[in-house]
Structure 1
């Protein structure tokens, strides 16, 4: 049984509750620890991007940088109210942000539906404001896209996966699917954390239900 958590950590804060943040971006890494590619771009013009939230971003980032066709990944914060938050601020539950991974990919090699299949199968999207024992708004399931076409594709994939989950006795998907808002890069030590710390924590746990759409 999960222990009780403060109510404010289980809901996105209002604008009046949110921390003020700062005008300047926090310091972070400039290049990807594994590939050496620039985290902030510029990237080849044919690349596309999507933000995904699946719980603690350490394991999520490693999952996606290993997908063929993914050009570069970065850990960060999105979906909240506080500009340029620090990790410590997001942990209070008073920024509204989700821990997310920026996935920059080559659509000629890997499609968004391919990436969404990885997304759905590698975590449990029915848990609300948590993933496993990681509890709070920062661990909510989310897909944040950069075009109407991608928004529709994400919704279609959700409907298909809900059918598969329901057939196996799981509840309703709680994943939020929204147009991407500002993405704030996490601190340098979070970037590609599990490449630097191979025995580090990874909380990813799928449902065991396949996603086909």
Structure 2
């Protein structure tokens, strides 16, 4: 019964009354990106835009995006839950409701939001619900949190197009959560750019092998 109860907590988003209390103040994190040395929390140069994605364990997901030309800085953190300023250990219980996500600050003159969406879809399996491979729980759900209506509409259009491609390949329905960006809580310093500090560290990212053809409607 105990194991079953714990699994249910990991697979179901908590109601506010069930969530951990969190804390009033942000948890400590790094000041600068370990690879680019740019400030994680800004200020960001004028003309840059933000995107936010969750595609399983945020260690490997962040590395994908910081390697993209035109991405100015990345950071990992927690979003989409209930508890304010959660810790890594708290999110792993499933009792904060947060997903592990990557904040991407990018130059739209160099890389488009549509290109980031394509990387997102092709780099994981968005049909698995509250898991990503062997990583099980609400923390690892697939998410796109959008900044503005243009990003939201682009995300929806890309989802619909990719779902058609996945269905054609015999895959299941996409379960990705698409919603306006909630508050982003920066994760602890040791999680920031983890795979740059630990090149042989854990990475469970695995795509479906199905190509994502971004429609013109998704070119935000």
TM-score normalised by structure 2 residue count: 0.94
Corresponding residue for residue 80 of structure 1: 81
Segments of 4+ moved more than 6 angstroms: none
Distance in 2 separating the partners of 1:157 and 1:49: 18
Q: What are structure 2's unaligned runs of at least 5 residues?
A: 215-220
Q: Distance in 1 between matches of 2:212 and 2:111?
A: 16
Structure 2 residue 138 is the aligned partner of structure 1 residue 146: no
- Report the TM-score, using the length of structure 1 for normalisation: 0.98
Task: State how 1:29-178 maps to structure 2 within 5 Å.
Answer: 29-178=30-179
Give, in angstroms, the shift of residue 182 of structure 1. Answer: 0.5
**CA drift at 1:8:** 1.3
RMSD: 1.0
Helix, strand or coil for the counterpart of 1:6? Answer: helix
In structure 1, how many angstroms separate the alpha carbons of the residues matched to 2:111 and 2:13? Answer: 33
In structure 1, runs of 5+ residues without a counterpart are none
The alignment of Structure 1 onto Structure 2 pairs a total of residues equal to 211
Aligned to 2:121, the other structure's residue is in SS state helix
Spell out, residue by residue over 1:7-53, the C-alpha distance to the aligned partner (whole angstroms, 9 max, x if none).
11101100000110101000000000000000000001101011100
